[in-house]
Structure 1
């Protein structure tokens, strides 16, 4: 799988000839979302989202690894889940910079207070060659932040499925972002090599390789993205340990409606430790984790009221054999519970008194189904929320 991922990277590098935009918020537009109007210009921007919520049902086993796992039934709370503070600056027409601070309720200080940390900090050299930018520093990866996330459009409600499963949205490294047709901007690519540690300092010699190609069709209404990555990790029982994802994403969008489908296969080499019933020996299994996500969103009242809905299904282990094994342990973050399949559903309304202010009543349901050898009940985390989201500086 490593050779496959490397081959993709080499192919994309050779055929690269264009530049991809730095901010996928306006992915389907003709203009770059980060466009220098004049040299030596910059702007401050940010957003905040959070909720008032009530947890109506809880899985007491804490399965799923999503944002409400482990929260007890009948919990009520107000929360801010994310705050962004960013600054984009154009040094000149050729070079620009980006800094983004993030605070979340999942990464807090020892006293449980939210604190900002550096999420993005990078330097962009535009048109390193015609249509291709070089980006150095802490950068958004091509996993979803520049494709499925902006077209889903409701990160304030929930992460994309591979974000939940631990594929980084940002990383420290170097990237080429380009378009094959700079004038029309219908086809492009991303190549990136990075530490694989997000905002944390590097702790080993292994690197994460990211790549994608994308295209817009039918007057830019249809968007198609093919993604692959490779990450070698610390050995398991002396065996080579790695993850290698292949993902496809397709979305069709018009001004009043968007529908999208995303599916992935993550090849987890020598990842799961399975204990044999007959001998007690531990086998190290290579497994495929799989998932699919379907979403739709659209307008009910123009510029005032929208709707959204999404369904995900995931399986972290395709080699469950309860007649042979008595226990399974996963060793990759996001897939470390091979015993549980998950289904996620969310739906709600989006009231926008202003284009930069959103109030979104919604229901959030994460269901867990046991597939392991130990008998465990099936359960769901169900949360009823009023989510708020506001943007400034954009």
Structure 2
């Protein structure tokens, strides 16, 4: 009896190794180059604006994905954009990650990874080449950072993500504090409906006027819901809040921002669609002050029509208006022709 069990175990072990060997033999490593460019022409109708019009390339991405083994993929992406130092076309390392699909329900990524704060919102909005999603546009979060994240499929409708990252974004290295940002999200999808809750937190040392150090935590909250009523019409809304920060990477005690974004699209056919979006951003008033601390509080309106003549090419004619609350800042009013092409 004992010999029979030993034989059965050895046979099972042998068959397991054989299956793995066969799987590895059948797998062929492969790679693919990809790229994307955001180009525009705009005419500025703002009163007193000296530069009335301009051609621009706002972003150019160039990347490569390589499937190392089954369930294991390496990706690298360069982001060419404006540098704070003055260069309009500086290449940044946007992504350099290793992605491991541990099972059908678990996926882990590490390195310079894409973040999860507004990825679903950006996809639902659908016009990143025209305007960033709310969190990205107003500095509530970054699209990539150094760290590790894990994604979990809890059911057919429910998924979750968790991460630990540096917190400074992909254009900067870790700060002197050496403290990381941690966060998570929960996403529900069913029959055209999507709902998402996201939260993160990161502490940093702040020195007050008296020279005393204190740990202050900057945190972000994002609530998002969207619904595709049919192949023709989709509508979404989101609420976002940033606490103790003038930006996701700039801790400032008692400085808070919050806002909402509502956007919608109607699709006529595969080539033509119209879209619109409204943003509202506000901040708190600091103790002893009469006005809110953020000079760029206000609202934004984007509306236009998109034409997609062929696959991987999109263009849009649209209006973008920015109405600032502070009288010192003029209302911006611009007409855009945006183009995205990718491969």
Q: TM tier, shorter chain?
A: 0.7 to 0.9
| Counterpart position of 2:68 | 91
- Residues 1:115 and 2:86 aligned together: no
Which among 340, 353, 358 is matched to residue 309 of structure 2? 353
Q: Deviations over 1:316-344 (max 9, x none)?
A: 22x356xx43687xxxxxxxx52442201
| Counterpart position of 2:127 | 154
Give the unaligned 5+ runs of structure 1.
1-36, 61-71, 272-283, 329-336, 371-375
Which among 56, 71, 79 is matched to residue 45 of structure 2? 56
Which among 319, 322, 325 is matched to residue 289 of structure 2? 325
Runs of 4+ in 1 over 6 A off after TM superposition: none
- Residues 1:241 and 2:216 aligned together: yes
Distance in 2 (CA, whole Å) between partners of 1:358 and 1:350 is: 7
Which among 157, 166, 175 is matched to residue 203 of structure 1? 175
User: Does the CA-based 8 Å contact 2:305-2:317 persist in structure 1?
Assistant: yes
> Shift in Å at residue 107 of structure 1?
2.3
Which among 348, 353, 365 is matched to residue 321 of structure 2? 365
User: Does the CA-based 8 Å contact 2:216-2:253 persist in structure 1?
Assistant: no
| Counterpart position of 1:384 | 335
Distance in 1 (CA, whole Å) between partners of 2:225 and 2:147 is: 27
The structure with the largest alpha-carbon Rg is: 2
Give aligned pairs, total: 306
Q: Deviations over 1:135-186 (max 9, x none)?
A: 11011111112x10011000011111111222111110011112112xx3x2
Distance in 1 (CA, whole Å) between partners of 2:203 and 2:218 is: 6
Q: Deviations over 1:234-269 (max 9, x none)?
A: 314133322111110001013222111010122217
Computed over aligned residues only, the root mean square deviation of the Cα atoms, in angstroms, reads 2.4
User: Does the CA-based 8 Å contact 1:241-1:270 persist in structure 2?
Assistant: no
Q: What is the DSSP-based 3-state SS (H/G/I as helix, E as strand, rest coil) of the residue aligned with 2:244?
A: strand
- Residues 1:308 and 2:275 aligned together: yes
User: Does the CA-based 8 Å contact 1:134-1:176 persist in structure 2?
Assistant: yes
> Shift in Å at residue 108 of structure 1?
7.0
- Residues 1:260 and 2:225 aligned together: no
Which among 153, 158, 163 is matched to residue 187 of structure 1? 158
Q: What is the DSSP-based 3-state SS (H/G/I as helix, E as strand, rest coil) of the residue aligned with 2:122?
A: helix
Distance in 2 (CA, whole Å) between partners of 1:211 and 1:132 is: 15
Q: What is the DSSP-based 3-state SS (H/G/I as helix, E as strand, rest coil) of the residue aligned with 2:123?
A: helix
Distance in 1 (CA, whole Å) between partners of 2:245 and 2:93 is: 32
> What is the TM-score when the length of structure 1 is the normalising length?
0.72
Distance in 2 (CA, whole Å) between partners of 1:88 and 1:139 is: 13
Change (3 A) 1:53 1:228: same
Q: Deviations over 1:271-295 (max 9, x none)?
A: 9xxxxxxxxxxxx962432100000
Distance in 1 (CA, whole Å) between partners of 2:153 and 2:62 is: 29
User: Does the CA-based 8 Å contact 2:254-2:286 persist in structure 1?
Assistant: no
User: Does the CA-based 8 Å contact 2:319-2:335 persist in structure 1?
Assistant: yes
Give the unaligned 5+ runs of structure 2.
1-25
Distance in 2 (CA, whole Å) between partners of 1:93 and 1:366 is: 48
